Amino acid sequence: MEDYNSVKRDFNEISELDEPKWNHNICYFNHLVKLIPNDMDTCLEIGCGKGELSSMLSEKCNKVIAVDLADKMIENAKVLYPRDNIEYICENILEMKFEDNSLDVIITTATAHHLPYEWLLNFAKDKLKKDGKLIILDLVEPKSVVDYISWGSAFLPNIIMNLIKNGRLQKDDAHSKEVWERHGKNDTYMTLDEIKLLAKKYIPTAKIRRKLFWRYLLVWQKNQI
């Protein structure tokens, strides 16, 4: 059972760290946004952090509901990315109420592993409109030989991109690294096989792809039953 008080504490501390120009989530943001058609009505972002992706989503959607558990993350987002069509909300998504068939897009990056996965998939089934999209980018636990080969091959590109974008070998300075490692001790991830098994049960037409930087991408469109 996730300790959300601990998660909130961790991310309030993380919110005060210097944000690198490039990391393993940011590098996929442009790709994620391209998955969303123009002029969507309502997008829900779960785990919006400091609001960079929220701002990008606001260019494609009439309204973005950007939710994060950490109040300091929301405070930062409001300052860094104020947009008239973004509603920043500090709340636990599990405790929020949405009408069925009310959302065009549900998107979450590096947050799904903090949520009950069955809940997230069922939430998308209920709350998305017809043709609505669920987009999940998250970390995954390696298991197979293919996993280790694929994600092992990311080692060199990771160094190169950090040097180019952040001007150092690693994305984090010593203090940031310590904070993230402390948070990571409480994180647990599913394997790609476990994710595929749950998707097959609840949203069998979902497309799941292994991504380079220790992540997977799940995309599901509701009309594909």
Six-digit token pair at 67?
């939710």
At residue 21, the pLDDT reads 86
What is the CB-side half-sphere exposure of residue 184 using CA atoms within 13 A?
Answer: 10
**CA 109 – CA 126 distance, rounded (Å):** 20
At residue 161, the pLDDT reads 85
DSSP H or E run through 124: helix 117-127
At residue 169, the pLDDT reads 67
Contact 69, 91 (CB under 8 A): yes
CA neighbor of 12 nearest in space, from 96, 90, 115:
90
Contact 56, 90 (CB under 8 A): no
Collect all residues with Cβ–Cβ distance below 8 Å to 29 and sequence separation of at least 6.
52, 53, 56, 109
- Given strand 128-139, what is the order of strands in its sheet? 86-90, 61-68, 40-46, 103-109, 128-139, 215-221, 207-211
Q: Is the pLDDT of residue 200 over 90?
A: yes
What is the tens place of the pLDDT at every residue in 210-221?
A: 999 999 999 999
For the chain, give the percent of residues with pLDDT over 70: 97
> Where is average pLDDT lowest: 157-161, 177-181, 209-213?
177-181
Q: Is the pLDDT of residue 158 over 70?
A: yes
Six-digit token pair at 222?
């509701």
Six-digit token pair at 140?
């995954």
Instruction: Show the domain range for 60.
Output: 4-221
**CA 71 – CA 91 distance, rounded (Å):** 8
**CA 57 – CA 52 distance, rounded (Å):** 9
Q: Is the pLDDT of residue 179 over 80?
A: no
* Domain count within the chain: 1
Six-digit token pair at 214?
């220790």
Question: Is-above-0.85 flag for pTM?
Answer: yes
- The confidence band for 131, taking pLDDT boundaries of 50, 70 and 90, is very high
> Where is average pLDDT lowest: 60-64, 70-74, 109-113, 158-162?
158-162
Question: Is 1 exposed, middle or buried (CB count within 10 Å of its CB: 0-12, 13-18, 19+)?
Answer: exposed
Six-digit token pair at 26?
């940011």
What is the tens place of the pLDDT at every residue in 132-153?
A: 999 999 999 999 988 888 888 8
> Side chain identity at 184, as an amino acid letter?
G
At residue 181, the pLDDT reads 79
Domain containing 20 — which CATH number?
A: 3.40.50.150
What is the tens place of the pLDDT at every residue in 76-128?
A: 999 999 999 999 999 999 999 999 999 999 999 999 999 999 999 999 999 99
Other CB atoms within 10 A of residue 161 CB: 18
